[in-house]
Amino acid sequence: MFYIGVDLGTSAVKLLLMDQDGKIEKIVSKEYPLSFPNPGWSEQNPGDWYEQSIAGLKELLESVDKSQVAGISFGGQMHGLVILDENDEVIRPAILWNDGRTTKETDYLNQVIGKEKLSEYTANIAFAGFTAPKILWVKENEPENFKRIQKIMLPKDYLAYKLSGSFCCDYSDASGMLLLDVKNKRWSQEMIDICGISLEQLPKLYESYEVVGEIKPDLAAELGLAGHVKVIAGAGDNAAAAVGTGTVGDGMCNISLGTSGTIFIASDTFGVDENNALHSFAHANGGYHLMGVMLSAASCNKWWMEEILKSKDFAGEQAEIGELGENNVYFLPYLMGERSPHNDPGARAAFVGMTMDSTRADMYQAVLEGVAFGIRDSFEVAKKLGIHIERSKIAGGGAKSPLWKKIMANVLGIKIDMIASEEGPALGGAILAAVGCGEYSSVEEATDKMIQVVDTVEPDPELVEKYNAKYQEFVKIYPALRDR
């Protein structure tokens, strides 16, 4: 049998076809535009997601025995606000995860409602990228649109709705809305009241591996699929990526260097750090996880190379980088503000420490190191909780760089494992589809069979010591610039 995983990303949708043993048969990617209508804003048209997903599915299924396709599931960009009216029409462009317009609403939630109450209601505090502040922004700034809302959903769930007609969401993705009581896995009535919405406007909740419906008959016919192709709930992109890397056991860790950067720590039990510096979310395997999120990770690399250097020769530029641990140039990776652990949408990127002999290679090295230091900020919070991490898997576009993996291993002082396939959320979605269709009894059983570690980067003790000293300098820079 075949299973489809759909990774609804910020710049493109990636579709993956996998057989029951985890062999990847084909991958298709389709891009769509991203809009920045005002400084700090970030929007997309949900119709573009659907159109490109359908085009991608048609290409994915060319020359395939379509009768063997059993199910489809998703990993999707989190936190985005998609609102539909009574006719199931999209009311306004989706406000995305990396949108920073909700400073006023976020401050209201954290300071007036209070972080302690928010943590009690949802296990998290408000961040500008979360969905609840976006709802309050629409209520305040677009009251006519707010009155028209019949359905509130997340990006990947818009695809599920269009494919199956099921108004659904999974617990992992819902965890990032600031509307879910994460501990008890139910919508928070307190947050519903605060946002001025109703329970009926929110989707039905599922575990990530549960079936929510089937592809609509007319759409199945258009795609050439046999009847009864199951649609499985799927997960937020980070939880789906964790499934795709086999990070589903208690205490296991995964680092993702995608557009955003994350450190993801799986747990069998619910837990919250006292300052809510890390997100406390549900996991796609039915458990929980802690997660630190950087708003700009591989996007820093892309920005430096394509916007500043006007080059796409990533490997060539990295080859010019010299000895690690000796760079005196630092980079704050806050091109879109920052989430974990600073929770500051107004944070901005900066180069610090340049002299007349600083080189282009020094600056590029600082970009790669700055992202690694940013990941370490969240890593340090986890360590203070008593969590001991000796190794982590790595995924995302940045994981393709041997140099960046070496930097990451030594900045964190842990082993970095590479797996056979670095397809992240798309593979995680396909695995969830296989579990939902009964191919495996659990997410753990599926990942144990499918995910293989093929290489490991070991930290060098001498370099770890040098980076420990560099990190102590790095952590002084943001507070110094913030207070100016």
386-423 confidence digits (pLDDT tens): 788 899 999 888 999 999 999 999 999 999 999 987 78
305 is in an annotated binding site: no
pLDDT at 383 over 90: no
Q: Is 417 a catalytic residue?
A: no
315: its two tokens: 């490997």
61: its two tokens: 């299924």
Q: What is the mean pLDDT of residues 199-227?
A: 96
Please name every residue paired with 90 in a beta bridge, in sequence order, or none if there are none: 84
In the set 237, 362, 377, 417, the catalytic residue is 237
149-185 pLDDT, tens digit per residue, is: 999 999 999 999 999 999 999 999 999 999 999 999 9
Q: What is the mean pLDDT of residues 376-381?
A: 93
CA distance 31 to 12: 4
Q: What is the mean pLDDT of residues 95-103?
A: 94
79 is in an annotated binding site: yes
16-61 pLDDT, tens digit per residue, is: 999 999 999 999 999 999 999 999 899 999 999 999 999 999 999 9
Q: What is the mean pLDDT of residues 205-232?
A: 96
Q: Look at residue 395 in the predicted model and tell me its pLDDT.
A: 84
Asked if residue 321 lies in contact with residue 365, where contact means CB atoms within 8 angstroms, the answer is: yes
Greater model confidence, 279 or 329: 329
447-460 pLDDT, tens digit per residue, is: 999 999 999 999 99
Asked if residue 304 lies in contact with residue 333, where contact means CB atoms within 8 angstroms, the answer is: no
88-97 pLDDT, tens digit per residue, is: 999 999 999 9
CA distance 10 to 55: 17
Greater model confidence, 463 or 396: 463
- How confident is the prediction for the chain on average, in pLDDT? 95
Domains and CATH numbers, the chain: 2-238 (3.30.420.40), 248-421+452-484 (3.30.420.40)
pTM: 0.85
The dihedral formed by the CA atoms of 190, 192, 195 and 201, expressed in degrees to the nearest 10: 180
β-pairing, 180-181 vs 253-257, is unpaired
10: its two tokens: 């910020």
Of 100-109, 244-253, 443-452, 463-472, the range with the lowest mean pLDDT is 244-253
Asked if residue 8 lies in contact with residue 158, where contact means CB atoms within 8 angstroms, the answer is: no
Asked if residue 223 lies in contact with residue 363, where contact means CB atoms within 8 angstroms, the answer is: no
Q: What is the mean pLDDT of residues 433-453?
A: 96
CA distance 83 to 106: 20
Q: Look at residue 484 in the predicted model and tell me its pLDDT.
A: 61
Closest Cα to residue 75, out of 236, 198, 232? 236
How far does CA 208 lie from the centroid of its chain?
Answer: 15
CA distance 197 to 109: 15
